[in-house]
């Protein structure tokens, strides 16, 4: 081998690539390609990538880096697209393979992750050279990212980050539902990584101390450090599970569940089933997805909690018995969870919401028929869209005389929290639950109402 060939071989060797972080960048670009171009949910693609795909062999640190690049690329996509449009004189070429995710993730590293320009640019060029469809644009990648490195930070800082990083379809929905000031506050809370919330089986104060977190007024524990969840103290022994503070509210609205028969419709992956079982209820967990029910089973087994598991379509499910209480945490657009799932704005659309509203209506109608007279039904969605929350419940009350709203009272646990509305329902926003400093604050956007069967 000549000297030059040897140099070339070492430049391309996997060992050197690992050292300079190329596999993490390749994983990030592939994940972004799957989400933005193939419209696949990030959690699913991440799962596949880890379980045998392109992240399988990556050291934990590189996986974390790939995830960080993807997260910031999605959160700041509007600002980055603005810059790319400014610097790409002839626009983005068509049929260029992974060129766009390479540029997006390269710019994200330069602008928001403090990666040294020579590293971010060199790796982006090499990624382009690996992709047969993008490789003829390697010089373009170099030129555009150099301009981003030189001029991008000032331009990006001059943009209205909350507005430009929110796709128009969501911005107009939130302005018309909640007004511009709240729409802006919602959007602003999507720009940073959220803290990690846990529900502990017992002793939140103790676990807060042990995990260097803080106990929440909603009953859980909040952490900033996010190593591998499976390696954190308490995970293996089933002392806690991951659940956002707002997501823990609906099950709490059912009050004392000890000894009650409760159906958790749309139960998987089981966060709320676990809360109900822990509160002493005898729970039937229903979900239409076999794969998600398998995860529910694994989660309950780790936690040492029990529930009967039924795979069924809950719009049609009609068992013999009637229940003391039902929790219906319906499938929804998930627009309240964008802090945790920054891919949602690019996967969902107005049309999905129309379709989901129709399914939620059917689920609600069936749920009411499964209740004993006097039984309680909590309906919740992790959506910021009133059509999936407030209006859905108002429409049910208007058409079904056999069900009434059971407003949350101020004197019940959590009843005096600021998110309990005058109507007696719960509405949380991602900017709620303000604690010391933005990094400790926020919660998912949720709606929850408690109803009672009167007829």
Ligand X SMILES: C[S@@+](CC[C@H](N)C(=O)[O-])C[C@H]1O[C@@H](n2cnc3c(N)ncnc32)[C@H](O)[C@@H]1O
Contact positions vs ligand X (CB under 6 A): 266-272, 286-289, 292, 313-315, 329, 331
> Minimum CB separation from ligand X for residue 366, in Å?
9
Backbone angles phi, psi at 381, to 5 degrees: -145, 150
d(CA 187, CA 159): 14
Bridge partners (DSSP) of residue 447 are 381, 427
Half-sphere exposure of 288 (CA within 13 A, CB side): 10
* Nearest distance from C-beta of residue 410 to ligand X, angstroms: 26
Q: Are the C-beta atoms of 213 and 222 separated by less than 8 Å?
A: yes
- Cα 400 from chain centroid? 33
Cis check for the bond before 439: say yes or no (omega within 30 of 0).
no
Alpha carbon of 227 to those of 210, 233, 397, 416: distances in Å? 15, 11, 45, 34
Judged by beta carbon, residue 208 or residue 328, the one nearer ligand X is 328
DSSP labels for 275-307?
Answer: HHHHTT-EEEEEES-HHHHHHHHHHHHHHT---
Distance of closest approach, residue 376 Cβ to ligand X, in angstroms: 16
Tell me: cis bond preceding 269? Omega within 30 of 0 counts.
Answer: yes
Nearer to ligand X, 102 or 327 (CB): 327
* Smallest separation (angstroms) from ligand X to the CB of 255: 18
Dist CA 189 CA 444 (whole Å)? 10
Question: What is the spatial distance between Cα 252 and Cα 268, in angstroms, rounded to a whole number?
Answer: 18
Q: Rounded to 5 degrees, what are φ and ψ at 196?
A: -105, 125
Does the annotation count 382 as an active-site position? yes
Nearer to ligand X, 358 or 404 (CB): 358
* Smallest distance from ligand X to CB 352, Å: 13
Q: Which residue of this chain has its Cβ atom nearest to ligand X in the complex?
A: 266
CB atoms within 10 A of CB 83: 23
Nearer to ligand X, 213 or 270 (CB): 270
Our CB check for ligand X shows the closer of 74 and 266 to be 266
Closest approach of Cβ 241 to ligand X, in Å?
A: 9
Length of the chain: 455
Q: Of 50 and 292, which has the nearer Cβ to ligand X?
A: 292
Consecutive H or E run containing 143: helix 138-147
Beta bridge mates, 64: none
Distance from C-alpha of 60 to C-alpha of 48, rounded to nearest angstrom: 16
Which of these is catalytic: 266, 332, 382, 425? 382
Residue 371 has φ and ψ, to the nearest 5°, of -90, 145
Q: Under 8 Å CB-to-CB from 11, ≥6 apart: which residues?
A: none
The least distance separating ligand X from the CB of residue 270, rounded to whole angstroms, comes to 5
- Residue holding tokens 């592939």? 30
Nearer to ligand X, 317 or 431 (CB): 317
To ligand X, the closest distance from the beta carbon of 245 in angstroms equals: 13
Nearer to ligand X (CB atom), residue 331 or residue 345: 331
Active-site positions? 382
């Amino acid at each position: 081998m000549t000297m030059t060939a040897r140099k070339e071989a070492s430049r391309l060797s996997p060992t050197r690539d690992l050292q300079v972080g190329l596999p993490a960048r390749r994983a990030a670009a592939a994940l972004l390609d799957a989400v933005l171009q193939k419209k696949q949910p990030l959690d699913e693609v991440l799962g596949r990538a880890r379980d045998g795909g392109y992240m399988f062999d990556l050291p934990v640190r590189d996986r974390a880096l790939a995830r960080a690049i993807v997260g910031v690329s999605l959160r700041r996509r509007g600002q980055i697209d603005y810059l790319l449009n400014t610097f790409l004189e002839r626009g983005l070429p068509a049929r260029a393979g992974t060129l766009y995710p390479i540029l997006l993730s390269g710019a994200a590293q330069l602008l928001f992750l403090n990666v040294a320009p020579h590293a971010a640019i060199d790796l982006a060029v090499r990624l382009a050279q690996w992709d047969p469809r993008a490789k003829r644009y390697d010089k373009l990648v170099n030129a555009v990212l150099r301009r981003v490195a030189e001029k991008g930070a000032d331009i990006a800082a001059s943009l209205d980050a909350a507005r430009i990083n929110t796709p128009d379809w969501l911005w107009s929905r939130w302005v018309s539902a909640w007004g511009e000031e709240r729409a802006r506050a919602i959007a602003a809370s999507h720009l940073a990584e959220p803290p990690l919330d846990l529900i502990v089986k017992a002793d939140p104060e103790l676990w807060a101390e042990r995990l260097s977190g803080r106990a929440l007024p909603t009953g859980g524990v909040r952490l900033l450090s996010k190593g591998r969840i499976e390696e954190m103290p308490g995970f293996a022994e089933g002392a806690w599970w991951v659940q956002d503070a707002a997501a823990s509210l609906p099950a709490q609205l059912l009050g004392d569940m000890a000894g009650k028969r409760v159906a958790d419709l749309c139960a998987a992956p089981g966060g709320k089933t676990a809360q109900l079982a822990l509160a002493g209820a005898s729970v039937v967990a229903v979900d239409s997805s076999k794969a998600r029910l398998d995860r529910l089973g694994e989660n309950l087994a780790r936690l040492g909690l029990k529930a009967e598991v039924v795979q069924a379509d809950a719009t049609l499910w009609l068992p013999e018995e009637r229940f003391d209480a039902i929790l219906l945490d319906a499938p929804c657009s998930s627009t309240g969870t964008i802090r945790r799932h920054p891919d949602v704005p690019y996967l969902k659309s107005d049309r999905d919401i129309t379709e989901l509203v129709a399914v939620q209506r059917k689920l609600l109608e069936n749920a009411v028929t499964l209740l004993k007279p006097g039984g309680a039904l909590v309906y919740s969605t992790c959506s910021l869209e009133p059509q999936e929350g407030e209006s859905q419940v108002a429409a049910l009350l208007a058409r079904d005389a056999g069900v009434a709203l059971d407003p949350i009272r101020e004197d019940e646990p959590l009843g005096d929290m600021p998110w309990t509305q005058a109507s007696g329902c719960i509405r949380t926003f991602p900017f709620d639950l303000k604690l010391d400093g933005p990094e400790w604050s926020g919660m998912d956007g949720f709606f929850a109402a408690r109803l009672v069967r009167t007829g």
